[in-house]
Amino acid sequence: MEMKNTHQLEEGTYDREAELKAFDETKLGVRGLVESGVTKIPRIFNSGLLDIAENAPTDSLLSVPIIDLRDIHNNHAGLIDQIRSACKEWGFFQVINHEIPITLLDDMIDGIRRFHEDPEVRKQYYTRDFKRKFLYYSNTSLYRDKSANWRDTVGCLMAPNPPKPEELPQVLR
């Protein structure tokens, strides 16, 4: 008899669906695995495809794309092209001359650090309900992909109506 999402391995039967569910039900994400002292990465994260030696960049002169907003009013279309290119080629970029005070940025980083350091706070906001204004989850497609990604995500829906302060974790307000 063959069961859905069950694989036969050398060590015996592996029930992927049960392992995914157990991981998700902790509501602690990847950070929770690390905090629990896990010494072996669970199979749900193993794609069998990663060979670091073959995929490692060989160009030591690589640098993160920088988007300079200094001339945003005169070069709007050019900046959009730069952002599009950075997202497509890198998946991220650095923004400079945005006029956000460094103290505010530091406060934001401290808040997100406090959020991640408190398992009970994370559990309160862990959800797969992507309609919520603020959410914490691990892997958008946890139950669909062949392997899970080793990451957690914090999301905050700001438009068109930003969340009320009480919808945000106290450590982030």
Mean pLDDT of the chain: 87
The one-character DSSP state at 163 is: P
Structure tokens at 154: 């914090």
Q: What is the pLDDT of residues 94-105, one digit of tens each?
A: 999 999 999 999
Complete DSSP assignment for 85-144: HHHHHTS--EEES----HHHHHHHHHHHHHHHH-HHHHHHHB-S-TTSSEEEES-TTTTT
Say which range, 6-15, 29-38, 66-75, 103-112, has the weakest mean pLDDT.
6-15
Residue type, 83: I
Q: How far apart are CA 110 and CA 96, in angstroms?
A: 20
Distances (CA, A) of 1 to 4, 12, 122: 10, 15, 40
Q: How far apart are CA 98 and CA 104, in angstroms?
A: 12
pLDDT, average across residues 57-68: 82
Give the residues across from 15 on adjacent strands: 6
pLDDT, average across residues 74-78: 94
Q: What is the pLDDT of residues 28-62, one digit of tens each?
A: 999 999 999 999 999 999 887 755 555 566 666 78
Neighbours of 33 (CB within 10 A): 18
DSSP three-state, residue 164: coil
pLDDT value for 84? 96
pLDDT value for 31? 95
pLDDT value for 51? 59
